[in-house]
Homo-oligomer: A and B are copies of this chain.
Amino acid sequence: MTGVPKRRYAVLAEGRLRDPNAKTAHGLIRYGEDEIVAVIDSTLAGQRVLEAMPELRRDAPIVATVEEALAYGPTSILVGLAPPGGRLPEDWLQTLRTAADAGIEIVSGLHQRLAPLFPGAKVWDVREPPDDVPLFSGEGLAVESKVALTVGTSSAIGKMTATLEIQRAASKAGVSARFVPTGQTGVVIAGWGICVDAVVSDFVAGAAEQLVLRAAETSPDLVLVEGQGALGHPAYSGVTVGLLHGSCPDCLVLCADASEERIMGLVPRPSPARIALLYEQTAALVKQAPVVAVSVNTKGLEDDVAGEFLARVADETGLPTTDPLRHTATPILKAILEA
């Protein structure tokens, strides 16, 4: 599928393995197929990942230094979280330089490209788009696998997680399903893909189409496309719609949560029912794609509150509604297969 040799990762998460913003580290540990040989976080050194963060579902030793991590024989070191303030602090640079000097590949999903900082080293800047992304051609409309795209009531709401949990449910059910990564964590997890928000805007739909075509090469039953942004997110709605049209989905899975925060502190979150209709109408300008299920992120809610919220969304939308992490993605998978 990817042509990329399997990596053995050391994951750099210094001081912040438990920080919810260490999204890329968490994603790779929980969902990546590549091996994790060690996690670097001196504040948790000596513990194992499953002790420190059982929800990551995969174990590895936690070590204090890059030198210790190197003893585990990694091929690659992942910059597992965004640095405070956006620029790499000097001690991270030092850590990465030590790894690079040992011939280890640096893998980074940061906005700031690292290749220029480490001349001669192997660096995979995950956000760097390929330079040959074509315009949307329409070829994606003829893909034979069933294509499902996750969309959201807001951004950062669990679209990637939902997509990967649906793939997991498919795998358990013997359904072949390819995950199509469109953001930095997804790309690190899968080892291929394009960060569509880093692509020149004219080419976002073309990038999405190419990714789906590539995923469909092996004729899987399902192609599961990780969505980005949200139709109602003023900063990212363009990326969302580029994906919505470019990936030519057959159906959509709406991702929601119980938060009532305004998007960017500026605009109200649309209700799941309202935004589902608008996603469908927008998709239908190019190709019909009904919303077939709602994936709700109930993280942090008590069981009864979560249950009530799920019931409310199910009632409001009339759709199969579940939290794929708290419960299972199987109802969503079923809805996709029946669409």
The CA-CA distance from A85 to B264 in the complex, in Å, is 43
Within the complex, which residue of B199, B266, B285 is in contact with A232, where a contact is CB–CB below 8 Å?
B285
Q: How far, in angstroms, from A285 to B130 measured CA to CA in the complex?
A: 32
Bound Cα distance from A196 to B266, whole angstroms: 23
User: Once the chains bind, are B232 and A237 in contact (CB under 8 Å)?
Assistant: no
Q: Is A198 an interface residue (CB 8 A)?
A: yes
- A236 at interface, CB cutoff 8 A: yes
> How many identical subunits does the complex contain?
2
Q: Is the interface of A mostly helix, strand, loop or mixed?
A: helix
Check B202–A200 contact: CB distance below 8 A. no
Given the contacts A238-B238, A238-B242, A267-B285, A201 and B197 also touching, CB distance less than 8 Å: yes
Least CB distance from A120 to B in Å reads 25
Q: Which of B136, B245, B264, B285 is the one whose CB lies under 8 Å from A138?
A: B264
Is the Cβ of A286 less than 8 Å from the Cβ of B234? yes
> What is the 8 Å Cβ interface bit string for chain A, positions 201-241, against chain B (1 contact, 0 not)?
11011100000000000000000000000011011111111
- Assess the A235–B135 pair: CB atoms within 8 A: yes
Residues of B within 8 A of A239 (CB): 201-202, 238, 242
In the assembled complex, A270 has its CB within 8 A of some CB on chain B: yes
Known: A138-B264, A285-B231, A285-B278. A242 touches B237 (CB 8 A): yes
Chain B residues contacting A245 (CB-CB under 8 Å) are: 234-235, 237-238
> Cβ of A246 < 8 Å from any Cβ of B?
yes
Closest CB pairs A-B (n = 6)? A238-B242, A232-B285, A136-B235, A197-B202, A201-B201, A234-B245
Enumerate chain A interface residues (CB-CB to B < 8 A).
Answer: 135-136, 138, 141, 196-202, 204-206, 231-232, 234-246, 264-267, 270, 275, 278, 281-282, 285-287
